[in-house]
Amino acid sequence: MRIVITGATGHVGTALLKRLQEARSEEAADLELVGVARREPANDSAPYRGVEWHSIDLGDPRDQPALEKAFAGADAVVHLAWLIQPNHDRELLRRTNVAGTAHVLAAAHAAGIGHIVCASSVGAYSPAPKDQRTKEGWPAGGIEGSHYSEDKAAQERLLDGFAKENPDVVVARLRPALTFSAGAGSEVGRYFLGGVLARLVPRKPWLPLLPIPKELVFQAVHAADVADAYWRVLQRRAEGAFNIAAEPILDPNALGWVFNTRRVLPLPLPVLHALVEVSWRLRLQATDGGWIAMAAGAPIMDTLRAHELLGWTPRRSSLESLTEMLDGLGAGKGRHGSPPLTPR
């Protein structure tokens, strides 16, 4: 089986390469791996070794012939490439995330790819109540005010249109919760805090008081467990949408435990949103207010479909994944060889 992975040097892309390398050594010796990224790995270390690499900018129409060439002869394409920063440049994000997805689908059609697996997100969903589990049939219309959510919803519409026009192609999409691992610590710090604030985060944060809105209830999952879900989709040639998340649900009390907090103080959601948005506009930190809107509105997902159809079960709890990421953030951990995951 020949598999092409876009965004293969990123957080989940690196985890997926590791999982596929394991599968190749244990159960699927015929796996051929092709990596597509704007910047190729800087060295030949694991898990980037033994991969055919192509340096391609998915958002640039001039790279379309190179993309079709990279897809030629493949059995499946896993589309993971996504741009989060610079989020002050909205058009650049759309160019990579939405137009880039359209270019991937067009190249897959031209190359005759039979299985397309795309990285969607819990952020693609329309707002939903937090007191119920949401299945994959919930509308994926995005959350207004979040560039990430709006672009994920636009990506889902592209997938829907492609699947309708190409009924012979198997189209799958994973909708993971917030995805963590220690190896993404440096990247998370740069993307969501900025270079200065990220260096101030200790490896074991301690907050005597945690002001947080009660609406911030969400799920998390480890990157290795997400990668395992992708491999299971590829193995089974599965189609449709799959919610991917670990337990337990993370609410303000759980976050208080993670941060060794003595007291959790309810904070009005509009206050936090305003503080984050203003500090972002002043370029004091790297996270815009849309991430708060998405965290407050995104659903709590039901993962039964992934358990039943893929046989998928996360090996790490959401608390373990979050704690590991905070340690990686404080230490500036990353992975040598990957430009986006370069350690601090």
Task: Work out the average pLDDT over 97-111.
Answer: 98
**Pairing relationship of beta strands 209-212 and 170-176 according to DSSP bridges:** unpaired
Strands 263-266 and 220-222: unpaired
Instruction: Locate 40 and state its tokens.
Output: 């190729």
Ranking 61-65, 138-142, 235-239, 335-339 by mean pLDDT, the lowest is 335-339
Q: What pLDDT score was predicted for residue 195?
A: 79
Determine the pLDDT at residue 244.
98
Domain annotation covers residue 79: yes
Has residue 322 been placed in a domain? Answer: no
Tokens standing for 156? 């889902």
DSSP reduced 3-state for 4: strand
pLDDT at 344 exceeding the cut of 90:
no
pLDDT of residue 272: 96
Alpha-carbon distances, residue 328 vs 224, 274, 331, 344 (angstroms): 15, 28, 5, 10
To the nearest 10 degrees (0 to 180), the angle between helices 185-192 and 318-331 is: 80
pLDDT band at 170 (very low <50, low <70, confident <90, very high): very high
The model's pTM is: 0.95
pLDDT at 177: 98
Per the structure, the complete domain to which residue 64 belongs is given by 2-181+219-248+299-317
From residue 326, alpha-carbon distances to 61, 168, 185 in Å are: 38, 43, 7
For residue 203, being part of any structural domain is answered with no
- Tell me what the mean pLDDT of segment 133-143 comes to: 97
Is 210 within the bounds of a domain?
A: no
pLDDT band at 80 (very low <50, low <70, confident <90, very high): very high
Mean pLDDT of 192-215: 88
Q: What is the spatial distance between Cα 208 and Cα 190, in angstroms, rounded to a whole number? A: 25
| Confidence at residue 95, expressed as pLDDT on a 0 to 100 scale | 96
Considering its fold, how many domains does the chain have in total? 1
Does residue 326 belong to any structural domain of this protein? Answer: no
Residue by residue, DSSP assigns 125-168 as SPP--TTSEE-TTS-----TT-HHHHHHHHHHHHHHHHHHH-TT
Q: What is the pLDDT of residue 76?
A: 98
Distance, in Å, from the CA atom of 177 to the CA atom of 121, rounded to the nearest integer, reads 7
Q: What average pLDDT does the segment 239-263 reach?
A: 95
Cis check for the bond before 248: say yes or no (omega within 30 of 0): yes
102 vs 334, higher pLDDT:
102
pLDDT at res. 152: 98
**What is the overall mean pLDDT for the chain?**
95
Residue 275: inside a domain: no
Mean pLDDT value across residues 141-159: 97
Token readout for 301 is 């997902």
Residue 201 has pLDDT above 90, yes or no: no
Distances (CA, A) of 180 to 187, 224, 226, 241, 256: 11, 9, 10, 21, 18
Q: Which residues fall within 8 angstroms of residue 76, CB to CB, at 6 or more apart?
A: 1, 2, 3, 4, 113, 114, 115, 116, 117, 234
Asked, for residue 8, whether it belongs to a domain, the answer is yes
CATH number at residue 55: 3.40.50.720
Confidence of residue 273 (pLDDT cuts 50, 70, 90): very high
Residue 237 counted as domain residue: yes
- pLDDT for 48 equals 94
